Amino acid sequence: MASSTTTYTTAGGHVPTATSTAVAADGHQGQTKFPPFDSSTFAPQLVWLALTFGFLYIVMSRIALPRVGSVLSERRERIQRDLVEAERLKAETDAALKSYEKSLADARNKAQTMAKSMRDTADAELDREKRRVDDANAVKLAETEARIAATKSQAMASVDQIASETAAAIVERLIGSSTGGASVRSAPTSENAI
C-alpha cells in the first residue's frame, strides 16, 4: 500500500555523517520507506520537539498557568468574601428585625398599659365626679326638703290662725258683735300670707 512513485528524500541528506552518528538505531536507510519509520528523520524531530515542548512548558509553568491560577483563586476568594459579607449583613438584618419586633411588642405593651391606666384614671374621675354630683344633689334635696318642711309647718301654723279668725268671723256674723275685732282685721292679711 505504501508503494508509490514518490521517492523519499532523506531529511538528513545534507549532512549524512551527522545523521548516521545521531541515529544509530536501525540500518534501513536510503530506499523508499514509510516516513514515520524513517530513522533519519528522528534526530531533527527530537531536537525540535525538545526545543518547542521545553519552551511551551516554560511559558505554561512560569507565565500562563500561574496567571490563570491567580485570577481563578482571586475570583474564588472574592466570591467567598462576598458570601461571608452577605452572611454578616443577613445576620445584622435579622438582629435588626428582631430588635424592631421587640420594640414593637414593647410599644404595644406600653400602649396597652397606658390605655388601661388612662381608662382607670378616667373611671376614677368619673366616679369622683358622680359622687360629687350625687352629694351635691343630696344636699340640695335635703335643703329643699327642709324648706318644704318649714313652709309646711308655717302653713300649718297659719291654718290655726285662719281657723281662729274664721271662727271669729262666723261668730260675729252670727252674733253681730265685733268681739274679736283684732282677729277679724288680721284675717285677710293672714290669708294673703298663705
Sign of torsion over alpha carbons 145, 151, 154, 155? negative
Q: What is the dihedral of CA 79, 84, 86, 92, to 10 degrees?
A: -170
Residue from the set 47, 122, 146, 159 that interacts with another protein by CB under 8 A? 47
Residue closer to another protein, measured from CB, 43 or 184: 43
* Beta-carbon count within 10 A of 24 CB: 9
Residue closer to another protein, measured from CB, 14 or 173: 14
Instruction: Identify the burial level of 165 via C-beta atoms within 10 angstroms of its C-beta, where 0-12 means exposed, 13-18 middle and 19 or more buried.
Output: buried
Q: Which three cell numbers stand for residue 18?
A: 551527522
Quote the CA–CA distance of 79 and 13 in Å, as a whole number. Answer: 61
* End-to-end alpha carbon distance in the chain: 166
Interface of this chain with another protein, residues 61 to 120, rule: CB under 8 A: 61, 63-65, 67-72, 74-75, 78
Residue closer to another protein, measured from CB, 79 or 122: 79
Q: Least distance to another protein from the beta carbon of 1, Å? A: 8
**Is residue 31 part of the contact set for another protein (CB under 8 A)?**
no
Residue closer to another protein, measured from CB, 36 or 176: 36
Part in contact with another protein (CB under 8 A); list of ranges 28-36, 93-101, 118-126, 183-191:
28-36
> 2 with 34: CB under 8 angstroms?
yes
Part in contact with another protein (CB under 8 A); list of ranges 15-23, 96-104, 134-142, 161-169:
15-23
Residue closer to another protein, measured from CB, 38 or 165: 38
* Beta-carbon count within 10 A of 8 CB: 15
Residue from the set 24, 27, 30, 56 that interacts with another protein by CB under 8 A? 56
Residue closer to another protein, measured from CB, 65 or 157: 65
**Is residue 187 part of the contact set for another protein (CB under 8 A)?**
no
* Beta-carbon count within 10 A of 68 CB: 11
Residue from the set 30, 36, 176, 192 that interacts with another protein by CB under 8 A? 36
